[in-house]
Amino acid sequence: MTLDDILQDLRRQSPDPKHAETGMWVASLLRERIAAGQLAPGAKLSEQALSEVLSVSRNTLREAFSTLASEHVVVRLANRGVYVARPSIDDIREMYRVRRFLEPAALLWSPAGDTAPLHAAVARARESREIGSVPDMADANQKFHAALVALTGSERLVLQMTQVLAEMRLVFHSMVADAGFHAPYIEENARIVELLDAGFRTEAAEVMTEYLHRAEQQLVTAVSQPTG
């Protein structure tokens, strides 16, 4: 999906009158589009087009860009503009460092909650695997991890995870056709939910910790390989 497609989608939305003048609202909109895989690494974000479509000032948009840049989701290039980021190996390692703090802890200490969103994410991932849709598998797996942290009931932790998953999506763009990365984790997600539902929180957290270490190494290896 190109920026023009995103702009058409944004034109169909009515700006929130309470937030349309805040950089946080704009940052949230762009972050959601990136987390959904709608903007690829390297895509240029036109300041003029976005400010017109969102009915916000250039200063407000720059505030949003500053927020996203601090999250490593976009980069500012002198005299060239703002672009969706291309995560480096160091970025990948940092993402997984954060995830190893968030996700096993969510399994260990979240209050008892509704695991239906976790089951739904697993079911959707299995359906996507059956039809061979790698982007949908990736999206369902992302939703699983977001729902897991949502069990904490903490807005701050959910926001942190949203930021990490937006950056993760940029890594997955380079692996859009690789079913071999996403498919094996579907049943591991299912196993984690089974353990959680059965009250085996420590075991679930251990599975998740090992899972994250392995996924990190797979992504680092993939990004390290020459592309041509």
User: What does the pLDDT look like over 41-67, one tens digit per residue?
Assistant: 888 998 888 888 888 888 989 999 999
Q: How far apart are CA 67 and CA 64, in angstroms?
A: 5
Superfamily in which the 89-224 domain is placed by CATH:
GntR ligand-binding domain-like (1.20.120.530)
Q: Do domains 3-84 and 89-224 have the same CATH topology?
A: no
Angle, CA of 18, 28 and 36, to the nearest 5°: 135
- Domain ranges across the chain: 3-84, 89-224
Specify the pTM: 0.77
Q: What is the pLDDT of residue 11?
A: 65
Q: What is the pLDDT of residue 149?
A: 97
Q: Provide CATH code, domain 3-84.
A: 1.10.10.10
Q: What is the pLDDT of residue 17?
A: 46
In tens digits, the chain (228 residues) has pLDDT values of 566 666 767 666 645 545 545 788 888 888 888 877 778 888 899 888 888 888 888 898 999 999 999 988 899 998 899 999 888 899 999 999 999 999 999 999 999 789 999 999 999 999 999 999 888 898 899 999 999 999 999 999 999 998 898 888 888 776 555 667 888 899 999 999 999 999 999 999 999 999 999 999 988 988 787 554
- Provide the terminal-to-terminal Cα distance of the chain, rounded to the nearest Å: 24
Q: What is the pLDDT of residue 223?
A: 79
Q: How far apart are CA 157 and CA 60, in angstroms?
A: 25
The H-assigned helical ranges of the chain are: 3-11, 23-35, 47-54, 58-70, 89-109, 116-131, 134-150, 155-172, 179-197, 201-224
DSSP for 61-73 reads HHHHHHHHHHTTS
